[in-house]
């Protein structure tokens, strides 16, 4: 059974590992990058807390001892269901079963002006670009004499009060407090403002009321200006325009306000649900097709417990991968379809960190809530467990330990390519 998996995120990689060296399967794993990216820690790369290599793991290293998994570094261009094949920018690949696990990308909700100037954070490369922008702004600020331009360089606006927005805002606030004044003693960081804009009435709206209130309290304690019920209308690279007419001067706007599924060409437009996700049945199978499946952020599956689809988080993708691996084994054995498993998400909880000793954790069964230092330790422990590779875990833990005791990071590096004329 030839299984083609497109996307090596949490879901795609998990499925490939579950089918690794299993008799009866040939697996082709297709991804644009030759490494797996640990998305929950992108914000730490962006704020110089971790090196990009610490949260990236080479795919070929995962499958060095594999006899049945092939890696293809390519970009999916089209799915041709009637011929059971996909077309990439490199080749055509036939399949017996196709699994789309291409995840989600930043959703600017059709606002091209914002898309042209804001900084998203959905890949390691984007996180590094944001880091360079932040550091370069402070370098430029040292030579600026115009107070308006200086304030613009010092202000940072984060849009979106979900886990990503909350975590990056907290990390920036800690940089402002502990790190930047030592690096740039010529600048007055009491004039630096970090704004968190959220369209709803609270931060972490998907979590419990306690977590929402606690996260906002923690952010404000760190000096973040939290503005709820604030919708962004536009951003021209210099000023953020809100729906109420208010403007915030900034040269850096970080967009963490929404995601949309990466739908490949060839998928029936009638199957696309809200959030640009593909509708599936309880077996993760695309409606109307027998051999095309979708898992993770791209999948839209309605169940009695989740009538508007599952949350777009890593545990959903990983549990769907586990289910699909089990069902593929039954299909390969030609078992009765009635014995196949339906997907039921087991929610083990949600969490977000705000800063040093500050985090929130919600556990549904038994219904528990943790805040502060205990929640922060739970958050760190879980993320260390999920990171691929002993070496990566060691380096991440070492970095966290060093940062905790020194209140500093040593990754504030600006890499850029010089023109030949500059070299002369």
| pLDDT score for 38 | 94
pLDDT of residue 413: 81
Same domain, 295 and 244: no
Question: What's the rounded mean pLDDT across residues 261-272?
Answer: 93
Q: Same domain, yes or no, for 124 and 203?
A: yes
CA distances to 72, 88, 141 from 78, rounded to whole Å, are 15, 7, 46
Token reading at 5: 């998996």
- Specify the pLDDT at position 424: 46
Residues 9, 100, single domain; the answer is: yes
Residue 403 has pLDDT above 50, yes or no: yes
Asked if residue 277 belongs to a domain, the reply is yes
User: What are φ and ψ of residue 409, in 5° steps?
Assistant: -130, 165
pLDDT mean across residues, the chain: 93
Q: What is the structure's pLDDT at 365? A: 87
Boundaries of domain holding 248: 112-257
Looking at residue 389, its pLDDT comes to 86
Average pLDDT over residues 2-18: 97
Does the pLDDT at position 137 exceed 80? yes
SS3 6: strand
Task: Answer whether residue 67 is part of any domain.
Answer: yes
| In the predicted structure, residue 423 carries a pLDDT above the cut 60 | no
Does 185 share its domain with 263?
A: no
Same domain, 116 and 90: no
Query: Is residue 296 situated within a structural domain?
Result: yes
How high is the pLDDT of residue 419? 56
Side-chain half-sphere exposure of 323, counting CA atoms within 13 A: 24
pLDDT, tens digit, for every residue of 52-85?
999 999 999 999 999 999 999 999 999 999 999 9
Residue 225 sits at φ, ψ, to 5 deg, of: -90, 100
What is the mean predicted confidence (pLDDT) over 236-260?
95
Mean pLDDT calculated for residue range 159-168: 96
Domain membership of residue 240 (yes or no) is yes
pLDDT score recorded for residue 301: 96
150 and 284 co-located in one domain? no
52: nearest Cα among 361, 395, 420: 395
325 sits in the region (left: phi over 0; alpha: psi -120 to 50; else beta) called alpha
- From 292, 316, 339, the end of a domain falls on 339
Q: Is the pLDDT of residue 349 over 60?
A: yes
In sequence order, the β-bridge partners of residue 242 are 232
**Confidence at residue 409, expressed as pLDDT on a 0 to 100 scale:** 77
Is 96 a member of any domain? yes
Q: Rounded to 5 degrees, what are φ and ψ at 187? A: -100, 145
Over range 388-395, report the average pLDDT: 90
How much is the pLDDT for 7?
97
Do 251 and 116 reside in the same domain of the chain?
A: yes
Q: Considering only 96-110, 281-295, 316-330, 409-423, which range has the smallest mean pLDDT? A: 409-423
Task: Please determine, for residue 417, whether its predicted confidence score (pLDDT) is greater than 90.
Answer: no
Specify the residue for token string 């920036």. 172
Residue 411 resides in a domain: no
The C-alpha atoms of residue 106 and residue 383 are separated, in whole angstroms, by 23
Looking at 257, 275, 306, the residue that finishes a domain is 257
Q: What is the CATH classification number for the domain harbouring 142?
A: 3.50.50.100
Question: Can you give the CATH number for the domain in which 293 is found?
Answer: 3.50.50.60
Residues 21 and 74 in one domain: yes
Confidence of residue 418 (pLDDT cuts 50, 70, 90): low
Residue with tokens 């115009």, as numbered in its chain: 146
- Is 251 in the same domain as 119? yes
Mean pLDDT of 254-280: 93
Which whole number is the average pLDDT over 390-405? 91
Same domain as 272, residue 232: no
If asked whether residues 197 and 69 sit together in one domain, one would say no
For residue 38, being part of any structural domain is answered with yes
Q: Are residues 231 and 135 in the same domain?
A: yes
Among the candidates 339, 356, 382, a domain finishes at 339
Spacing of C-alpha 416 from chain mean position: 25
Domain count for the chain, please give it.
2
Residue-wise pLDDT tens digits, 227-247 = 999 999 999 999 999 999 999
Q: Could you tell me if residue 362 is inside a domain? A: no
* Per-residue pLDDT, 96: 96
């Amino acid at each position: 059974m030839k299984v083609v998996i497109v996307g090596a995120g949490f879901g795609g990689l998990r499925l490939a590992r579950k089918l690794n060296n299993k008799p009866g399967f040939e697996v082709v794993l297709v991804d644009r990058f030759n490494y797996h990216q640990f998305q929950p820690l992108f914000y730490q790369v962006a704020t110089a807390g971790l090196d990009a290599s610490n949260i990236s793991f080479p795919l070929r290293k995962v499958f060095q001892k594999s006899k049945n998994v092939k890696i293809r570094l390519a970009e999916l261009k089209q799915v041709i269901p009637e011929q059971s094949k996909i077309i990439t920018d490199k080749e055509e690949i036939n399949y017996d079963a196709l699994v789309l696990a291409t995840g989600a990308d930043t959703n600017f909700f059709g606002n091209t002006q914002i898309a042209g100037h804001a900084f998203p954070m959905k890949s390691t490369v984007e996180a590094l670009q944001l880091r360079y922008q932040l550091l370069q702004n402070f370098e430029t600020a040292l030579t600026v004499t115009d107070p308006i331009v200086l304030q613009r360089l010092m202000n940072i606006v984060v849009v979106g009060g979900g886990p990503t927005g909350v975590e990056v805002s907290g990390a920036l606030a800690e940089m402002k407090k502990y790190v930047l004044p030592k690096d740039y003693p010529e600048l007055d960081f009491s004039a630096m403002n970090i704004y968190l804009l959220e369209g709803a009435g609270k931060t972490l709206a998907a979590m419990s009321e306690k977590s929402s209130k606690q996260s906002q309290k923690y952010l404000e304690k760190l000096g973040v200006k939290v503005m709820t019920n604030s919708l962004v209308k536009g951003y021209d690279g210099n000023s953020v325009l809100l729906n109420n007419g208010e403007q915030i001067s900034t040269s850096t706007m970080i967009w963490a306000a929404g995601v949309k599924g990466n739908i490949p060409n060839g998928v029936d437009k009638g199957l696309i649900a809200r959030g640009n996700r593909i509708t599936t049945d309880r077996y993760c199978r695309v409606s109307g097709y027998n051999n095309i499946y979708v898992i993770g952020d791209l999948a839209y599956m309605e169940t009695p417990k989740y009538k508007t689809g599952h949350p777009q988080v890593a545990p959903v993708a990983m549990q769907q991968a586990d289910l699909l691996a089990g069902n593929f084994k039954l299909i390969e054995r030609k078992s009765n379809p009635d014995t196949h498993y339906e997907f039921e998400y087991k929610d083990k909880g949600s969490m977000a960190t705000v800063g040093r000793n500050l985090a929130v954790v919600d556990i549904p069964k038994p219904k528990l809530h943790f805040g502060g230092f205990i929640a922060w330790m739970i958050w760190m422990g879980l993320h260390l467990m999920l990171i691929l590779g002993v070496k990566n875990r060691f380096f991440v833990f070492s970095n966290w330990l060093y940062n905790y005791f020194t209140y500093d990071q040593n990754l504030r590096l600006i890499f850029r390519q010089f023109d030949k004329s500059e070299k002369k």
